[in-house]
């Protein structure tokens, strides 16, 4: 059975997409079979997998899965980057529909059963809001990773983030684990970043959550690889970003 990981935080711009893409990339680089699911209507991950900024019309996406028009396996796109169920901007209009519909937040979980034996990992990117798609990811996941920025407001918001995940978990996925909080876009030259890096594990101990030992440093190669829709591990394997994500994945495999 595949281990299903949701990368989630209701805050925007914290490195969810970057983390989801690089965890998937690192796992594939090691040799695992990975399926990526883009649950964010912004479809940023999808554009990286597809190597383009716009989707060709008529292709099957997560929308087809949500509408139950196609099975999940029929919506998997096999790209040079890897296998993906593409996100779809049209999903944005349907959020309220699936939030209120009975079973609307369990669609991905149920659809995934069909391909469970075919992959080692399923990595899910989620949108920056607590809506139907974040819920679908959390209901389908074995565990989640929460990227946070080393900024005061981000750390202040951690309680709220964990409460949100716990309430969603109580509603629909009792077994969900919080694999850990991940510090992203970390600049060690910035004293504020360094101070928060020290505080976070202390805070984690108090609240009972794991903080990954590896912060992801600010790294131009990370941004560049995504902008060029290239695998960081295959193009800039010696960069700080690749080393940090590789260390994170090792830590994750130990947690698992
Ligand atoms: N380690 C890094 N070094 C440099 N830039 C980074 C790093 N990680 C992420 N970024 C940049 O930060 C920005 C936000 O990252 P990303 O899109 O992954 O966040 P997100 O949480 O998915 O955002 P959203 O909530 O809008 O989906 C992007 O421009 C990305 O290229
Ligand atoms: Mg994103």
pLDDT at 160: 85
**Cα(181) to centroid(ligand 2), Å:** 16
Tokens 């193009």, residue?
Answer: 235
- What's the rounded Cα separation, in Å, for the pair 204 and 91? 34
Rounded CA-CA distance 71/66 in Å is 10
Residue nearest to atom 30 of ligand 1 (CA): 223
The atom number, within ligand 1, closest to the CA of 12 reads: 25
pLDDT of residue 152: 86
Is the Cβ atom of 228 under 6 angstroms away from ligand 1? Answer: no
The pLDDT tens digits for 58-114 are 789 999 999 999 999 999 999 999 999 999 999 999 999 999 999 999 999 999 999
3-255 domain in CATH 3.40.30.10?
no
Instruction: Tell me how far apart the terminal alpha carbons of the chain are, to the nearest angstrom.
Output: 13
251 alpha carbon to ligand 1 midpoint, in Å? 21
185 lines ligand 1 (CB under 6 A): yes
Tell me what pLDDT residue 161 has: 86
Q: pLDDT tens across 178-212, in order?
A: 999 999 999 999 999 999 999 999 988 988 899 99
State the distance from the centre of ligand 1 to the C-alpha of 183, rounded, in angstroms. Answer: 12
Does residue 55 have a pLDDT over 80? no
Q: Ligand 2 centre from 178 Cα, in Å?
A: 19
Q: How far is the CA of 56 from the centre of ligand 2 (A)?
A: 20
Sequence-distant (≥ 6) Cβ neighbours of residue 177 within 8 angstroms? 142, 143, 144
With a cut of 80, say whether residue 245 has pLDDT above it: yes
Contact between residue 174 and residue 142 where contact means Cβ atoms under 8 Å apart:
no
236 lines ligand 1 (CB under 6 A): no
pLDDT at 23 over 80: yes
Assess whether pLDDT exceeds 90 at residue 170.
no
Tell whether the model's pLDDT for residue 226 goes beyond 80. yes
Q: What is the mean pLDDT of the chain?
A: 94
> Residue 36: which pLDDT band, with cuts at 50, 70 and 90?
very high
Q: Determine the pLDDT at residue 243.
A: 97
pLDDT for position 75: 97
Distance 102 CA to ligand 1 centre (A): 33
Residue 136 pLDDT > 90: yes
Amino acid 153: pLDDT: 84
The secondary structure of 13-68 as a DSSP string is SSSHHHHHHHHHHHHHHHT--EEEEE--TT-HHHHHHHTSSSPPTT---HHHHHTT
* Site to substitute for ligand 1 among 12, 18, 214, 230, most atoms within 8 A of C-beta: 18
- Is residue 10 lining ligand 1, measured as CB closer than 6 Å? no
pLDDT computed for residue 228 by the predictor = 95
Paired with 4 in beta bridges are 122
pLDDT in the model for residue 21: 98
If pLDDT is split at 50, 70 and 90, which confidence band does 155 have? confident
Residue nearest to atom 14 of ligand 1 (CA): 13
The pLDDT, as a whole number, for residue 52 is 76
pLDDT in tens, 1-15: 999 999 999 999 999
């Amino acid at each position: 059975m595949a281990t299903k990981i949701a990368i989630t935080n209701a805050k925007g711009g914290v490195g969810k997409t970057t983390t989801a893409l690089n965890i998937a990339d690192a796992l594939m680089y090691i040799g695992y079979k990975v399926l990526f699911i883009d649950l964010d209507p912004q479809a940023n991950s999808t554009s990286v997998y597809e190597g383009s900024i716009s989707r060709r019309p008529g292709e099957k996406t997560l929308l087809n899965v949500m509408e139950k028009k196609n099975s999940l396996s029929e919506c998997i796109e096999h790209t040079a980057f890897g296998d993906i169920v593409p996100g779809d901007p049209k999903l944005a209009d349907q959020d309220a529909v699936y939030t209120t519909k009975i079973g609307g937040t369990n669609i991905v979980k149920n659809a995934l059963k069909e391909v469970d034996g075919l992959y080692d990992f399923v990595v899910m990117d989620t949108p920056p809001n607590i809506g139907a798609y974040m819920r679908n990811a959390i209901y389908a996941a074995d565990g989640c990773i929460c990227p946070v920025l080393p900024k005061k407001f981000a750390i202040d918001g951690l309680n709220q983030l964990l409460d949100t995940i716990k309430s969603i978990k109580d509603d629909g996925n009792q077994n969900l684990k919080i694999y850990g909080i991940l510090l992203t876009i970390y600049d060690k030259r910035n004293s504020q970043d360094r101070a928060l890096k020290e505080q976070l594990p202390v805070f984690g101990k108090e609240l009972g959550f794991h903080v990954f030992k590896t912060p992801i440093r600010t790294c131009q190669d990370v941004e560049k690889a995504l902008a060029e829709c290239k695998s960081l591990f295959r193009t800039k394997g010696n960069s700080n970003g690749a080393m940090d994500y590789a260390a994170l994945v090792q830590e994750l495999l130990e947690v698992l």
